[in-house]
Structures are given as C-alpha cells and as structure tokens.
Structure 1
Amino acid sequence: MFQLPFPLHDANASAGGKDLGDLPEWDLSDLYTAEDAPELKRDLDWLEEACASFATDYEGNLAGLDAKGLLDCVLRNEKINQVAGRIMSYAGLRYYQQTTDSGRAKFMSDMQEKITDYTTPLVFFTLELNKLPDAHLADLLDQDPDLARYKPVFDRIRAMKPYQLSDEMEKFLHDLGVVGDAWERMFDETIAGLEFEVDGETLTIEGTLNLLTDPDRAKREAGARELAEVLGNNIRTFARVHNTQVKEKEVLDRWRGMETPQTGRHLSNHVEPEVVEALRNAVVEAYPKLSHRYYELKRKWLGLDVMQVWDRNAPLPMEDPKIVDWAQAEDIVMEAYSAFDPRMGDIAKPFFTKGWIDAGVKPGKAPGAFAHPTVTNVHPYVMLNYLGKPRDVMTLAHELGHGVHQVLAADQGEMLSSTPLTLAETASVFGEMLTFRKMLDKAKTQAERKVLLAGKVEDMINTVVRQIAFYDFECKLHEARRSGELTPDDINALWMSVQAESLGPAFEYMEGYETFWAYIPHFVHSPFYVYAYAFGDGLVNALYAVYAEGEEGFEDKYFDMLKAGGSKHHKELLAPFGLDASDPAFWDKGLSMISDMIDELEAME
C-alpha cells in the first residue's frame, strides 16, 4: 500500500572512481535515528491502534456522517497515511542505500508486512465513499469549506466508482494482489541474477547496459551481443511473466468493466484518453522530423554507412570526456535555479547542506536516481549515482526539480500533495531545461555547444520518441494477448514492429535485438506507465516555450502551479499559461522545440 518510487534506471550511467570531491550522504535522522529508535516503536504502536479504531468507528457508518464527521474521518485517514508513509520512507531509503545488506532488506520487508496488516481493515473506506450518492456528497462539501478542499481526492477515488465490485470481491482482490506481486518479484530476481560474460569479465545487466555507451565501438557491440545471447536464453521465462501479468490484468479489467487495457492507467493519471491519444499521434507523426533526422546526423558524425543498435547511445566523437566534480555541479545547478528565481535557489539549497542528497556510487547501492517526497511534515530526499559526467549534472538538476516541487506542494497535506504521473515530471524536466540552457550559454566553442545540443536532443528522443514506441508496444501486447497465449516469437515480432518505425532508416537491427523488450521493468511493474515520461517532457517543452517568449508573471504562475500539488487538474494548472493539453497543437509546440534544436545541429554541418 505504501511504496517508494521505483528507481529510474539511467541508461547512460557508467562506472566511476574518479576524484569528484566530497560527495554527500543522507542523514535520515529527520525520519528516525535507528531501527530500534523509541520514536519508531511509538509510531508503529500508534498506527496499529489508529487503524483498528478507524475501522471500528467508521466501517458501515460513512453514509450517516454529517460534514464535520466526514472531515474528521478524512483527517484521521490522512494522519494514518502520514505515519505509515514516514515508517516506509525510512525503511525504503535505508534499503536503497545498501540493497545487499540482508538486515536492511529484512527490516524493510518486516515494516511493509506490519503496515499491510495494520491497514488492510481500511479497505472499506474508498468502497463506502464511492457508495455515497453524488448529491449527498456535494451537499456535505457545500456545508464545510475545509471538507471541500478534499474534493479533488474524492473525485479521484470516485472516478473508480463505475468499475467497483462488491465489498467481498474487492477484499478478495486486495488479498490476491500478492500473487501478482510474486510475478513481479520473479521478474526482478531473474533480471538481477543474470550474468553476462564480456571480454572475460562477468557483469550484471547494469554493467552490460553501460557498455552500450562506451566510446569503444567493439565494446558496445560485445555488450549488445551478450545482452541478446543471455536474454534469448531466458526468453521463455520473460514471456511467461508477461503472458501471466497481461492475462491477470485482462481478467481484472473485464470484471471491472474497464473499456480498454489503458483505462486504469488513465484514471490513476487523472488524464483523459483523448489527451493521451493526441500526444501519441503527435509524437508518431513527428518521428521523421525528430528521431529519423537526428540519427541520420549521428550516423554521419560516427562515420558509419549504417548505425547498429549498439550505436544509438554511443558518445559523440567530438565529445570531451571531461569530469565535473561535485562542487562544480552544485554551482552550475544552483546558478541556473537562482537565475530563474531566487526563491527556487533558496528551496534547493538545504538539499546540499542538510544531508538530503545521497550522491556517491557505492557497492550495493540501488542504481539510477530518484527523489522521494517522504511525508509532508518532513522533507524529500534525493538519490543519485554521481559519476561526474555532464549528463550527471543534468540528472542532479532533474531530481532537484522533483525535490523543489515536493517541498512546495507539501502544504497541501498528505492526500493532496502528490501529483499524478503525468504532472510529476513537470518541475524536474523544467529544472533540467534551466540547467541545460545555462550550460549552453556558457559554451566556449562551437564544438562544445554542438555536444550539449546533441546530448539534449538525444535525451529528449529517449524520453519522448522511445517511450511512445514503448507505449505502442504495450498496446499491441495487451491487445494480442486477448486472443490467446503469446509465444516468445509473437512478443519479439510486436517489439520489432515499433522499433524500425520510431528509430528510422539510419539503423540496422542485429539478430537478437528482438528480445530487448524483456529487460524493461515498467512493462511488468507499471503497465502503460511509460507515456507519462513523454507527457511530462512535452508539457515542459511547451511551458518553457511560453517562458522563453517572455510571458509576464511567468515565475509566480509557475510557483503557484507547483504549490498546487495534486489539488488541480492539468487543465486548471495549464490555463494561466494559455496552454491546453487536449489541443493537438499543444504537443506540436513542445515537439517543435526538439525539432528546432535539430535544425541548429544541421546548420552546424
């Protein structure tokens, strides 16, 4: 019930070991000081009693509450969420610092089990809330402005009302959820246990994927071929996991009466299907002027007749392999944030000075990067694996953007602070764009500007084009599974049907590339999650275009948007900027920014 964000794997991360300066580590004492801290025991005891008394007081009684009674109920539920979230934040963050520590793993598992046990009796809350007649709930909201503040929460919960089953069936499905979790764990453990032999060295999947960004083309090819070999040897297991997960989702969706496999994701993202379709269509139509055009440029820069899949994330030949130490990275990002608005710099500063960032690469530390909001009465924590590449500076800017957003939204409280996935990337991508523009302005040579521009375009293509191709693959996968079991070859064919279309004619595809769907975790953990990346990037590009045009009062409007957290729909949030995500022209505005950068790169040739 209370989960940390799934760590985002940075496909371009690499092993370091260079002198990067004094890299900060987390100080988690703002959550708890130790596993056996008396405050932690106090909160666990409180949580057990609070959940039990909540169920006793309210189960079967929601329909009879007046406005004040319902507000008290909501506030008690919010406090339960806050205490449970604090405990799981502490357990999860400690675990991510050292995933190989069996003690930390056991502690996190024990805490998750306790909290699941304590909170299971609360399943009734959303079920009963959805049984309240619309007119009755509207009347209660009219009576109490403090209760009316929670209307966005009620709206999100009640969006599931048409798809809700009987109380008994809902409790059964809640208990059955551990079965789906077991398949996810099987996927994770299988991926983590894979071994790849490259040039006499045994690597994990992270180390092998990292080879795909190596300057040495022979190493990139060796990594790609070993990935294909090992994934191919295990493809029946991955096909079984996907077949089972997709079938389970199809059964649940059918029982609930969901119109499409994507409906549940759209509801949780609080976004209309037609808006996602407008995004998807705009990106697919733009493939020729974006990815096809860029990869043709990259093919020339690399001096190749044709690109292979192991060249997609290759460093550019004119790239300077310079190292940016931690102090420089902090200066670059802080300067960019403060130049936009000093308030943003003030919010960002404590992350560097108070132990809110864990930056170093350490044995057993989780890969990738993320910002975790913890709970609204503490503060966010940022995790990085900082290696001193210019790209790592952008990752710092990205995660710090999440952190600033989470700090600003915290005043909304536990139930209204978190944004849907489609809006969660707004401040992070905007912070990254501010930092990129600052670095671009400081470029001393044409070659340096070219590398920065190309790197940004490549990141945007990976975020927009690649993720929409992933989304199309998932749509095809779920549709095909409805007709029966899919063989590995069936899934391979679906994967290849979207790859050539999105990447373009600059590429050839080696034998074995058809299995590369198997290692993407989002397909298993979070079906249809991937379009949120493209949504966030497109939204920020359109937003930044408004900023670049000199919109009056932009900074204040931007801060108001972040402070709103999850209390407003995307239409309300974007309206002050004159933007509307349901308008196809909105997405074209964002995609044009990428196209303009490619124009500049072509003009440099």
Structure 2
Amino acid sequence: MASNAASAPIGALPEWDLSDLYPAPDSAELAADITRAGADAKAFRAAYEGKLAGLSGDGLAEALASYERLQDLLGRIMSYGQLVHSRAMSDETIGRFYQTMQEQVTEITSDLIFFTLELNRIEEADMAAKLAAPALARYAPWIADTRAFRPHQLSDEVERLLHDKSVAGRSAWVRLYDETTAALRFPLGDEKLTMAEVLHRMSDRDGAVRQAAAMSLGQVLGDNARLFALVTNTLAKDKEIEDRWRGFPRPISARNLSNFVEDEVVDALLAAARESYPRLTHRYYALKAKWFGVEKLDHWDRNAPLPGDDDRVIPWAEARDTVLGAYAHFSPELAAIGRRFFDAAWIDAPVKPGKASGAFAHPTVPSAHPYLLLNYQGKTRDVMTLAHELGHGVHQILAAGQGPLLADTPLTLAETASVFGEMLTFRAMLRAETDPARRKIMLATKVEDMLNTAIRQVAMCEFERRLHDRRREGELTAKEIGLLWRETQTESLGPAIRLGQGYEWYWAYIPHFIHTPFYVYAYAFGDCLVNSLYSVYQGAEEGFAEKYLDMLRAGGSKRHGELLAPFGLDAADPAFWRRGLSVIEGMIDELERLE
C-alpha cells in the first residue's frame, strides 16, 4: 500500500504487485520464458507448417492446443512489459525494456504467423469435416472468428512482412505518443501537473481553477500539436494503406469486423446517437447553463460540479466498500470476485509522474489474472471509474475459463460488464441518499457521465471518420485536425457550450485514436446495451443475475446476438438503440420536472 501525504483524506492507495507474472524485468524467470517461447515457436513451426490441411480433426485440435499454450506464454511476457511501462513511461530504462520485449515477442511470433494463414486456406467442406471431432469443436467459435478475415488475408510473405515491420512502424509511433504524453507537464500556478492531474482540475469547484487548467491543457497540447499531428497523420496513412491492400471498404470496417459486429448494426447505433443530439446533449447542457445562471457554459465548465454539490473527497476505503456493496446487492458471487482485486494487490491507484493517464483493466492471460490501473483522486467520478474498471476485471476473471483463444471479448461486448458495474454503483448510491437536493445532483452527474460515455464517444467516432476520410486526400495540418475536432464537438455539444481558445487541441490527449482506431464507439455500444439490459433487470424475475454471469463467462465464444437472446434483446433492431438512448432522455425529463 502506498500513501500520499498530500492527499491524506483519500487514505492509503494500493499499488499492484506484478510478481504473479515475473519478479522483475531482469529476472531469470522472464529470461527463461522468453528463451522457452522462442524454442517452442520454432518447434511448432517445424511440426505443423504446410501440414494443417492434411491433419485430422483430432490432429488439428492438438495443434491448436499447442498454439494456445504458446499464446498464453507470450501474452504473459508482453503483459508484464506493458504493465511495467504503464507506470513509468518517462523512464528511459523502462522504455528500452518495453521496446526490447516488443521486438523479442515480434521475432518469436513471426514463426507462428503461418498457422492462422494456413487455417484460413482450408476449404469450408474440409473444415466442417474436421470440426466433427469433439476436441476441435471446442475451438469452433475461435476458428469461425479467425476465418471471418479470409477475404482480407494477404499472401504469407506480405503478412510476415507487415508483422515483422510493426515493431519499427505502428508500434514505434504508438510508443512515441505514449511517452510524449506521459512526459508532458502542465503549469498551473506554482505547480507542474501531469495529464491526469490537469484533467482532474477541470472538474474543480473553483471556476478560476477550471479555466486555468483548461488553458494550460490547451496551451501545452498546442505547443506539441505538430508532433501529435505527425503521429496521427502517419498512423492514419498506415491504416489507409493496409485497409486498401486488405480490401476494407471504409476506415471503420476493419474495426467492425474485429468486433464481429455488422456494419449495419454500427451504422444504426451511430445514426441513432447523432439524431439524439438535440434531445440529449443540447437539452441537458442548456439546463446546466441555467443552473449556473448563464446563457452559455464555457468548455471548462462542461464537467463542473453542480451548484450545491459539496464536491467532497471520497476516501479510498469508502469507494471500495461502495462499489463492492453495489456489486453484492446484485450478486454475491460478483462481489466476491471483485474483492480479490483489493485483497491481492491487483490495483494500482495513485497518481504519479510518468504513469499512464486515465484508467484501464489489463486482462493479461487466463493462467494469471487481470490488473487495474487507476489515477484515483477522490471524486465521485473516480468512484464510478473504479466500478467501471472492476467490471472489466470481473468479466475477465469469469471469461478466463474459456482459455487463451476464447476468453477475449470483442470491444462491443467488453464494455458491458464495466458500464453495468457503473450503473449498479450509481443506483446503490442513489438509494442511500435521502436529501432531495443531493439526489438531484447525483442524477444530473449520472446523466453527464452517460452523455460522456455514449454521445461524446459517438462524436469522437465521427471525428475519426472525417479525419480518416480526409487523410485519404492528403496529410492534414494540426490546425486542420483541430478544425475537424471543433466541428464534430460543436455538433454534439450544442449551442449551450462555448468552445474557447485551446479547445481545438484537445483531440491530442485521446489515446484511443492512436492505440485503437474507432475503439470509441464501443463505449456507446456498451452504454446503450447496458441501459436496455438494466431495464430488463429491473422488471426481471429471479435468475437474471445467473444469466448475466453466464453471459460474462462466455467471453469471446459467442456473438452479440447469441449473448443477448436470453434477455430478449436484439442489437440488430434499430429500436434497440433508441431504447437505450431513451433511458438517458428519461433522466433529463426527470431533471426538468424537478426544476
């Protein structure tokens, strides 16, 4: 446990213990596993390259089991490198260690590329015959997902070249972005703040502090905008080239396929969300401006604490008990799994220089366990973030039984447990609050969080779409990217938000644009899905929790249609998205009635 004297009301904050993966970056255990992985990969290639089509179903199942063990070992190695780096991105020694891990794992996995390429070349009738073997049938969902990419597969030589060059191409640009943002410092008075700290100050009770933080954020991002624009342009062009070679019709198509969701379903979600702008964001921010006694809110007031909000610091112990209590009210089993993260040092919560900003849940591998990274500073939103990331972690624990190849959940479903965990926590906090004024503030805060999760993420996706479309015509300047950002965010936020100087650079701090293009719509997918799911839960008989846990246990073994069917939900129906968005609209209706 690590305590922060400057944040005494928060209490002692946990730091994770990565020794469940490896004792240290220079440990003999890590070195031995890298050597073993390299030898096993070469042996695997020698045993199976050029032979998959001739294997029986049982023989292919044996090959897949060996491949799966290798993936678990390599995943453990790479997860450790990523987690070590995420806490010390400004440390040159750690950066070198992480790069070395990437290069070594890339070299090892070059011996494994043949496997999925050959698997995809097996004719449908032959594969169907092989899948009659029970041992292979277990892997049928993973095989189907892998073979979904058959139309976009390139020659073995090109696939190997793309793989080998990634460490000096895309991965290197992502590392440059991460280390640059981690090293940035934002002046505020006599302080020099990290990214996480300056973003935190933008929800300070003092409007002058919020404005100063917003100006500092914009100034520093603007000072580095040429570098961020270069990274963005390079990665967008890299994606355009690969998409063109693979035959993807639109920039978002590759992400949709990797999420195993149809283009039409995503289009319906995005269209429904954009169509809802006037009823949701425009209406809510006009209401918030009224509460602040102004016609328009400056952009630094968008997430400001509401008038009357005591904005108290929530100690870590209270945040833990609140989240676990909410989980337990829904399912004791869910809470018991969640408690393991606190008891076993699987969470890293303090804000530190050089640490990755934001929050994440890293699944590592099924033979180990997930880790959560937070930047906890005692706000109500930090409690919601804990509930969100713990939802991811519990989901990853439950899905681990599927094994390394089937545990991973598509991004569209990966946000289900996290957003559901937030909703459980919010409802628990609302039930415990008896003061009407305070309940109104809590309801408004939840509406803001839902707008940030659903509508703002759709606006970000629209920014990405326009950015990638424009990049196909030529490189964009930092100013042009900023104009696209302003344009899409103005459409989303509406006339009650004034976007001031410096806001045009805010696109640069969103890591999803760099790490995983078009990731962001998964938040809207998850939020709308959970809103619909929660409405079913509210009217459900006994047994909902068990069905919900079974859905999480499925991991990546089922598509969204199969997972939602037991709840009577269908994401292919446009009404599904309108139903999810109507939950937010209903909350805004309630806030207007309270006026």
TM class, shorter-chain normalised? over 0.9
The aligned counterpart of 1:160 is 149
Question: Structure 1's 153 and 479: CA in aligned 2 closer, same or farther, altered over 3 A?
Answer: same
The aligned counterpart of 1:477 is 467
Which moved further from structure 2: 202-211 or 313-322? Answer: 202-211
Residue 293 (structure 2) pairs with residue 307 (structure 1): no
Query: Which portions of structure 1, spanning 4 or more consecutive aligned residues, are displaced by more than 6 angstroms?
Result: none
The aligned counterpart of 1:216 is 206
- 2-side partners of 1:489 and 1:325: how far apart? 42
Alpha carbons 2:106, 2:164 under 8 Å: kept? no
Which among 62, 75, 90 is matched to residue 80 of structure 2?
90
Which moved further from structure 2: 563-572 or 283-292? Answer: 283-292
Aligned-partner SS, 1:19:
helix
Length-normalised TM-score, structure 2: 0.94
Q: Which structure 2 segments of 5+ residues have no match?
A: none
Which among 265, 269, 282 is matched to residue 275 of structure 1?
265
- 2-side partners of 1:341 and 1:208: how far apart? 37
Superposition deviation, residue 37 in structure 1: 4.3
The aligned counterpart of 1:540 is 530
Question: Structure 1's 257 and 395: CA in aligned 2 closer, same or farther, altered over 3 A?
Answer: same
Residue 163 (structure 2) pairs with residue 174 (structure 1): yes
Superposition deviation, residue 132 in structure 1: 0.7
In the TM superposition, 1:202-241 aligns within 5 A as 202-241=192-231
Which among 128, 132, 139 is matched to residue 150 of structure 1?
139
* Letter of the structure 1 residue corresponding to residue 342 of structure 2: F
Which among 246, 254, 272 is matched to residue 256 of structure 1?
246
The aligned counterpart of 1:508 is 498
- 1-side partners of 2:31 and 2:175: how far apart? 29
Alpha carbons 1:16, 1:387 under 8 Å: kept? no
Superposition deviation, residue 41 in structure 1: 3.7
Which among 414, 426, 441 is matched to residue 431 of structure 2?
441
Residue 121 (structure 2) pairs with residue 134 (structure 1): no
* Letter of the structure 2 residue corresponding to residue 161 of structure 1: R
Question: Structure 1's 376 and 94: CA in aligned 2 closer, same or farther, altered over 3 A?
Answer: same
The aligned counterpart of 2:478 is 488
Q: Tell me the alpha carbon deviations over residues 557-605 of structure 1, each in whole angstroms, 9 at most, x when there is no partner.
A: 1011011000000000000000011111111111111111112211221
The aligned counterpart of 1:418 is 408
- 2-side partners of 1:15 and 1:603: how far apart? 44
Residue 372 (structure 2) pairs with residue 379 (structure 1): no
Aligned-partner SS, 1:382:
strand
The aligned counterpart of 1:7 is none
Q: Tell me the alpha carbon deviations over residues 7-28 of structure 1, each in whole angstroms, 9 at most, x when there is no partner.
A: xxxxxxx996133334333233
Superposition deviation, residue 240 in structure 1: 2.8
The aligned counterpart of 1:3 is none
The aligned counterpart of 1:244 is 234
Superposition deviation, residue 381 in structure 1: 1.9
- 2-side partners of 1:191 and 1:106: how far apart? 17
The aligned counterpart of 1:292 is 282
Question: Structure 1's 230 and 363: CA in aligned 2 closer, same or farther, altered over 3 A?
Answer: closer
The aligned counterpart of 2:346 is 356
- 2-side partners of 1:310 and 1:445: how far apart? 28
Superposition deviation, residue 184 in structure 1: 2.6
- 2-side partners of 1:56 and 1:403: how far apart? 37
Aligned-partner SS, 2:277:
helix
In the TM superposition, 1:524-603 aligns within 5 A as 524-603=514-593
Which moved further from structure 2: 570-579 or 332-341? Answer: 332-341
Alpha carbons 1:302, 1:317 under 8 Å: kept? yes
* Letter of the structure 2 residue corresponding to residue 26 of structure 1: W
- 1-side partners of 2:494 and 2:223: how far apart? 28
- 2-side partners of 1:242 and 1:92: how far apart? 22
Question: Structure 1's 55 and 356: CA in aligned 2 closer, same or farther, altered over 3 A?
Answer: same
Superposition deviation, residue 187 in structure 1: 3.0
Alpha carbons 2:196, 2:375 under 8 Å: kept? no
- 2-side partners of 1:209 and 1:590: how far apart? 29
* Letter of the structure 2 residue corresponding to residue 158 of structure 1: R
- 1-side partners of 2:228 and 2:159: how far apart? 29
Which moved further from structure 2: 72-81 or 483-492? Answer: 483-492
Aligned-partner SS, 2:8:
coil
Aligned-partner SS, 1:568:
coil
Superposition deviation, residue 42 in structure 1: 3.5
Question: Structure 1's 493 and 386: CA in aligned 2 closer, same or farther, altered over 3 A?
Answer: closer
* Letter of the structure 2 residue corresponding to residue 340 of structure 1: F
Which moved further from structure 2: 332-341 or 25-34? Answer: 25-34
Which moved further from structure 2: 433-442 or 41-50? Answer: 41-50
Superposition deviation, residue 237 in structure 1: 3.1
Superposition deviation, residue 204 in structure 1: 4.0
Which moved further from structure 2: 205-214 or 534-543? Answer: 205-214
Residue 465 (structure 2) pairs with residue 465 (structure 1): no
Question: Structure 1's 390 and 497: CA in aligned 2 closer, same or farther, altered over 3 A?
Answer: closer
- 1-side partners of 2:5 and 2:123: how far apart? 57
Which moved further from structure 2: 442-451 or 548-557? Answer: 548-557
Aligned-partner SS, 2:372:
strand
The aligned counterpart of 1:11 is none
Matched positions, count: 591
Superposition deviation, residue 511 in structure 1: 3.6
Q: Tell me the alpha carbon deviations over residues 354-411 of structure 1, each in whole angstroms, 9 at most, x when there is no partner.
A: 2222233344433322222221122222222222222222222111111111111111
In the TM superposition, 1:74-113 aligns within 5 A as 74-113=64-103
Question: Structure 1's 15 and 446: CA in aligned 2 closer, same or farther, altered over 3 A?
Answer: farther
Superposition deviation, residue 194 in structure 1: 4.1
* Letter of the structure 1 residue corresponding to residue 142 of structure 2: V
Superposition deviation, residue 306 in structure 1: 1.4
- 2-side partners of 1:227 and 1:176: how far apart? 34
Alpha carbons 2:228, 2:508 under 8 Å: kept? yes
Q: Tell me the alpha carbon deviations over residues 518-551 of structure 1, each in whole angstroms, 9 at most, x when there is no partner.
A: 3322222221111111111111111001001224
Residue 17 (structure 2) pairs with residue 27 (structure 1): yes
The aligned counterpart of 1:450 is 440
Q: Which structure 1 segments of 5+ residues have no match?
A: 1-13
Which moved further from structure 2: 394-403 or 568-577? Answer: 394-403
* Letter of the structure 2 residue corresponding to residue 315 of structure 1: P
Aligned-partner SS, 2:556:
coil
The aligned counterpart of 1:8 is none
Which moved further from structure 2: 419-428 or 371-380? Answer: 371-380
- 2-side partners of 1:78 and 1:447: how far apart? 55
- 1-side partners of 2:10 and 2:200: how far apart? 20
Alpha carbons 1:15, 1:387 under 8 Å: kept? no
- 2-side partners of 1:96 and 1:479: how far apart? 32
Q: Tell me the alpha carbon deviations over residues 230-255 of structure 1, each in whole angstroms, 9 at most, x when there is no partner.
A: 43344333333322222222121111
Structural RMSD (CA): 2.1
* Letter of the structure 2 residue corresponding to residue 301 of structure 1: W
Alpha carbons 2:14, 2:348 under 8 Å: kept? yes
Alpha carbons 1:538, 1:591 under 8 Å: kept? yes
Which moved further from structure 2: 15-24 or 71-80? Answer: 15-24
Residue 59 (structure 2) pairs with residue 62 (structure 1): no
Alpha carbons 1:18, 1:387 under 8 Å: kept? no
Residue 328 (structure 2) pairs with residue 338 (structure 1): yes
Length-normalised TM-score, structure 1: 0.93
